[in-house]
Amino acid sequence: MNGGPYNPLDKINLARSIETELLSRQAVGFDQLSDVRGAGVYAIYYFGHFPAYATIAARNLDGKFAQPIYVGKAIPKGGRKGGISADSLAGKPLLDRLGQHASSIDQATNLSIADFAVRHLVVDDIWIPLGENMLIETYKPVWNRALDGFGNKDPGRRRATQYKSPWDVLHPGRRFAEKLADSGLSEEFLAERVDDYLNNRPMKRLPRVVEEQQAEEQGEAEQGADDGLRHLGTTDHI
């Protein structure tokens, strides 16, 4: 038992309050998100029949939605420039980000958008990274931790120097990814990596070029972000 007094403003307790509030929200299909406004955090759940995700799907059947396959955040416009003036209710950053994810899933040849549901929560801007980190630390979603690339956007001019992400290899079909270079990864290798992760076994290492690309993308994603509250633990996701 911890002998210290309970501090409701401790960052862990604040983070858990965001997590609890998000989990109290109903999980809905991507087709029910048209009225979402504001910035915040979200959790995506899978309950389909892709073999590698059988254990995840089993935890999300019958409306249980107990294991996200991915969690993320959408910050207000200008939120990556620092400060605390960004308005979490302004615009539709959550809707835009979830729309990008819906497009990724819809383009994948071996996934169906009908097999996914979403919980989302509008959060005051300074607490958004804290809430996202808490969700990742609690659930360790496979698309955040073991299969990188779901959250990637079109690399644009960098395309000539980019490799397909692990997510794009296991779930081919995104139009921008079809133009990226082959890293040598196979669907079989990545399915085994996912299986190892979900069964708490050590994962085989990715090729060096993929690890280096992930590190570079992670650094770019964090550069200049208003992430002063994000240090709850490991944040090896994109």
- SS in 3 state form for 20-38? HHHHCCCCECHHHCCCCCC
Same domain membership, residue 75 and residue 166: no
111 and 61, same domain (yes or no)? yes
Q: Which of 117, 141, 165 is the last residue of a domain?
A: 141
Percent of the chain topping pLDDT 90: 65
Same domain for 136 and 189: no
At 221, the pLDDT band (50, 70, 90 cuts) reads low
Query: What pLDDT score does 222 carry?
Result: 58
Q: Let me know whether 107 and 214 are in one domain.
A: no
Q: Tell me if 228 is assigned to some domain.
A: no
Judged against a pLDDT cut of 80, whether residue 156 lies above it is answered with: no
Residues 116 and 150 in one domain: no
- Is residue 138 a contact partner of residue 19, using CB atoms and an 8 Å limit? yes
Residue 50 DSSP label: -
- Between CA 94 and CA 131 the distance in angstroms is 14
2 belongs to a structural domain: no
Q: Does the predicted TM-score (pTM) go above 0.95?
A: no
Q: Judge whether 234 lies within some domain.
A: no
* Residues 135 and 158 both lie in one domain: no
**pLDDT, mean over the chain:** 86
What pLDDT shows up at residue 157? 63
Report angle CA 120, 143, 31 to the nearest 5 degrees. 40
Tally the domains of the chain: 2
The answer to whether residue 229 is domain-embedded is: no
Residue 234 has pLDDT above 70, yes or no: no
Write the DSSP symbol of residue 237: -
The encoded tokens of residue 176 equal 């921008």
With contact defined as beta carbons under 8 Å apart, do 97 and 26 qualify? no
In a domain, 122, yes or no: yes
Kindly state whether residues 156 and 216 are assigned to the same domain.
Answer: yes
Domain assignment of residue 198, given as a range = 146-223
- Cα angle: 133, vertex 137, 141; to 5 degrees: 100
> Looking at 141, 159, 175, which one is the last position of a domain?
141
Examine the domain organization and report whether 30 and 103 are in the same domain. Answer: yes
Q: Is residue 168 part of a domain?
A: yes
> How do beta strands 68-74 and 116-122 pair?
unpaired
Kind plus residue range of the DSSP H or E element containing 42: strand 40-46
Residues 136 and 109 grouped into a single domain:
yes
Q: List, for residues 204-217, the tens digit of each pLDDT value.
A: 999 888 888 888 87
- 154 and 90 share a domain? no
The mean pLDDT of 171-193, rounded to a whole number, is: 94
**In terms of domains, do 106 and 154 share one?**
no
Q: Is 118 helix (H, G, I), strand (E, B) or coil?
A: strand
Domain check: are 101 and 156 in the same one?
no
In a domain, 67, yes or no: yes
H/E stretch holding 93: helix 93-107
For 175, which DSSP code?
A: T
Among 119, 141, 163, the domain-final residue is 141
